[in-house]
Amino acid sequence: MIKLSSFALPFLFIAAASAYPQDLPKEIRGYKVHREKITVSSVKSTVESPSGAFVKIGDPKLFELDVTGLTFELPAEITSADQSGKVDFLTFQNIKVNAISVDIDEYRHPFEFKKGELVLLPKPARIFLSITGLAQAAWKEMRDSKPEWAVAGRVFVFGRFRRYGFYHKRVVPIDFEIKIKNPLK
**pLDDT, position 44:** 58
Least confident window among 48-52, 83-87, 142-146, 170-174: 48-52
Residues 21-43 have a mean pLDDT of: 78
Q: Is the dihedral of CA 24, 28, 105, 121 positive or negative?
A: positive
pTM of the entire predicted model = 0.78
Q: 3-state SS of the chain: helix, strand, coil percent to 5?
A: 15, 50, 35
Dihedral sign from CA coordinates of 29, 154, 97, 94: positive
Mean pLDDT within 14-35: 69
How far apart are the C-alpha atoms of 101 and 76, rounded to whole Å? 20
When mean pLDDT is compared across 43-52, 92-101, 126-135, 143-152, the lowest value belongs to 43-52
> What sections of 44-178 are H helices per DSSP?
131-143
**2 has pLDDT over 60:** no
What pLDDT, on a 0 to 100 scale, did the predictor assign at position 101?
93
Give the span between the Cα atoms of 41 and 182, in whole angstroms: 17
Is the per-residue pLDDT at 54 higher than 70? yes
Average model confidence (pLDDT) for the chain?
A: 81
More confident residue, 22 or 146: 146
Mean pLDDT of 176-180: 86
